[in-house]
Chain A
Amino acid sequence: MTDQLGALTTIFTEFYYWVTVVLMFLIHVGFCMYEVGASRYKHHQHTLMKNTMLIPLVTVTWFLFGWWIYWAFPTGPGIAPSIMTESTGLVLGGGFGGNDLANPTNALMAINLNDHIMGVFWAAFLLFSWTAASIVSGAVIERITTFAFGVLAIAIGSVFWSIDASWGWHFDGWMLKILGYHDAYASGVIHAIAGGFALGVLMVLGPRIGKFASNGEPRNIGPRNPWLVTIGLFLIYTGFWGFYAACNVPIYDLGPEYGMEGVTFWTATNIYLTPTTLSGITMNFLMSLSGGLLAGYVIAKGDPFWTYSSGLAGIICASAGNDLYHPIQALIIGMIGVVISYKLHYWVERKFKIDDAVGAVAVHGYAGFIGLVICGFVLNGYPASGYSVGAMWDGSTYATINPLGQFLGAIIMFLVLGLIPGYIIAKILNGMGKLRIPREVEIAGLDYETMESAKEDEKAVSSATR
C-alpha cells in the first residue's frame, strides 16, 4: 500500500469482508434459535450445545486443513489444467494451486503487515463452513450424539464443502472449465451439498421415537417455540445479506485481469470474477425471498413453519444465478423451487421414513439442486468465467453455462460430495455404536440430568420470598 488510492481499495476490501463476517454470524445465531425452537423441551439444552460446539470444531479444523483443501484442489487434481501459471501471471504461491498460502504454518495465516485480505477471506469462508454444518445439525436433532455430530460437522464443514468450493467456486475450478458450472451464491456449493449430506446421515440415523405410527404414517412433531423459530429464521435471512455480499469481490478492475490492454472497468464481481453489482443482487435477493414466501404460504396453507422456511428455500433456489437474473425471474424461480421442495419433502418422508426434523434436506438440498438445474436453462450460453471461453469438455478453456453441465454439477454437489459421504461416515459411526443416543435417553430427554441436578435449587428459588 504505497499510494492512497491503493490503500483505500485494500482497506475497503478488508472492511467489506469483515462486515460480511459479522452479518453471517447472525446465520448461526438464527440456526441455534431455530433448532431450539423446533426441539422439545427435554432436549433443548443439548440441541443448543450441539450446534454451538460446531463453531470451535469447524474453526479449528478449517485452520488446520479446510482452507488448505480449498486452495489445493481446484483442478481436481488432474481433471483440468490450471490457469495459475507464470504465463497468465496468476501464480499465487507454491505447490499445486495456491495451497501454500493456506498452509497453517505459513506466515500469511496470522497477522501480517503486508496482507490485509487473507484473514477476512479465510473467515468469510469459515462462516460458510459453519452454515454447511449447521444445516445438517437441524435435521438430526434429539437423537444424535454430540460426538458423532462433531465428526460429521468437521466432515461437511472442513472437508467436503471445501472440496466442492475448490471444484465449483474457485476461479481455477475444473467444474467451471469442463462443465460450465455456475453457482454464484451457493445453491449447490453450500446448500445442495449440506442437504444431501444431511439426507445421507438421516438414512442411517433413523427417525425420532414416535415420529411414525405403527402403520408407517408420519406424525407431525411441530416446533415447540414458534417465536424462537420465527426470530431464528429472520436472523438467518439477515445473515444471508452478508452471505451474498461475501460471495462477491467488492471492487475489481477487470480490464487488466482479463488481459485487455488499455481497458479499465471497475466493478464488483461474483466469485468467478465476472461482473455483477451489489445493487442488482440485492433486488434479486428480496424478490426470490418474496417468491419463496408467497409460494410457501399457499402450498403450506399458511403454516408458519413452512412459510418461513420457504422464504429461505426461495433465496436458495435462485442463488445459483442471482448475479445475472432479472428480479422477476428470481421470484419465479424461487416459487418453483419451493413448490417442488415441499412436495418432495413429504413424498420422501412417507416413502422412505426419513425424519428430517426441520426440513433441512428440502429447504437446502432439494431447493439448491433445483436451483442449479434451472440456472442451466435460464443462463444457458453465458460464460462461466471471465477468462478464455471455449467448448464444453475441452478442459483447457472455460465452457459456457449450459443445462447438462449444471445438472451434472447438481449431482456432484448433492450426491457425490453430499449424500454418499454423509451416508458412509454415518454408517461407520453407527458401526462403532457412536451415532445415536440410547433409546432410554431419547425417551427421558437429553436434558434430564441437567434439569434434575438443578431441581432442588429451582424449587427453593421458585418458592423463595426474600
Chain B
Amino acid sequence: MATVTNWIDHLNKPAEEVAGSVYPGAGSSEFILVLLLIVVWIGWSVITDKSEREELERLSRKRHGANDHKSNITDW
C-alpha cells in the first residue's frame, strides 16, 4: 500500500521525475475511494431523511400548542 518506502530514494531523483502523489494507494485506489464517498453521501442522506421524517411524524401526532415548549425550559 505504501507509495513511498524511502524518502531519500524518492527525492533524490531529478525534479521532473519525482512523483507528486504520495498518499497510500496512489494510482490504483482513487476510483474506489470516490465510489466510497458517493456511498457515504447517499447513505447518510437516506438515513437522515428517514429519521427526520419519523421525528416529525411523532411530534405532529402530539399536537402541542405554540407555548407548550415553555414547560420544557427548566434552567432559569
A113 touching B69 in the complex, CB below 8 Å, given contacts A107-B27, A448-B59: no
Chain B residues near A63: list those with CB within 8 A: 37
Interface contact A64-B20, CB-CB below 8 Å: no
User: A437 CA to B73 CA in the complex, in Å?
Assistant: 23
Within 8 A of A (CB), among B1-35: 15, 18-23, 26-27, 30-31, 34
Chain A residues near B21: list those with CB within 8 A: 107, 110-113
Measured CB to CB, the nearest residue on chain B to A112 is: B20
Interface contact A451-B64, CB-CB below 8 Å: no
A-side interface residues, number (CB < 8 Å):
43
Interface contact A113-B18, CB-CB below 8 Å: yes
Chain B residues near A61: list those with CB within 8 A: 41
Overall SS of chain A's interface: helix
A451 touching B55 in the complex, CB below 8 Å, given contacts A60-B37, A110-B23, A443-B66: no
Question: Among the listed stretches A131-139, A144-152, A260-268, which one makes contact with chain B, having 4 or more residues with CB under 8 Å of it?
Answer: A144-152
Overall SS of chain B's interface: helix
User: A107 CA to B29 CA in the complex, in Å?
Assistant: 10
A451 touching B41 in the complex, CB below 8 Å, given contacts A110-B23, A145-B52, A462-B75: no
A443 touching B64 in the complex, CB below 8 Å, given contacts A113-B20, A147-B49: yes
Measured CB to CB, the nearest residue on chain A to B10 is: A113
Q: Of residues B38, B61, B72, which shows the largest number of chain A Cβ atoms within 10 Å of its Cβ?
A: B72
Interface contact A448-B72, CB-CB below 8 Å: yes
Interface contact A441-B56, CB-CB below 8 Å: yes
B-side interface residues, number (CB < 8 Å):
41
A444 touching B41 in the complex, CB below 8 Å, given contacts A107-B26, A451-B72, A459-B74: no
A111 touching B72 in the complex, CB below 8 Å, given contacts A60-B41, A437-B56, A441-B60: no
| Inter-chain contact total with CB atoms closer than 8 Å | 109
User: A441 CA to B58 CA in the complex, in Å?
Assistant: 9
Chain B residues near A145: list those with CB within 8 A: 52, 56
For residue A5, CB closer than 8 A to chain B, the reply is no
Chain B residues near A113: list those with CB within 8 A: 18-22
Encode A146-171 as 1/0 by CB contact (under 8 A) with B: 11001000000000000000000000
Interface contact B64-A64, CB-CB below 8 Å: no
For residue A42, CB closer than 8 A to chain B, the reply is yes
A448 to chain B, nearest CB (A): 5
For residue A461, CB closer than 8 A to chain B, the reply is yes
For residue A86, CB closer than 8 A to chain B, the reply is no
Interface contact A107-B75, CB-CB below 8 Å: no
Measured CB to CB, the nearest residue on chain B to A445 is: B69
A207 to chain B, nearest CB (A): 16
Chain A residues near B73: list those with CB within 8 A: 41, 451
21 example contacts (A-B, Cβ-Cβ < 8 A) are as follows: A64-B38, A105-B30, A105-B31, A105-B34, A106-B30, A107-B20, A111-B22, A113-B21, A113-B22, A145-B56, A147-B52, A150-B48, A434-B49, A438-B59, A440-B62, A440-B63, A443-B66, A445-B69, A448-B68, A448-B69, A455-B74
Q: Which residues does A use to contact B, with CB under 8 Å?
A: 2, 41-42, 57, 60-61, 63-64, 104-108, 110-115, 145-147, 150, 434, 437-441, 443-445, 447-449, 451-452, 454-455, 458-459, 461-462
Nearest 9 A/B pairs, CB to CB: A114-B20, A444-B64, A440-B60, A451-B72, A112-B20, A438-B60, A458-B74, A105-B30, A107-B21
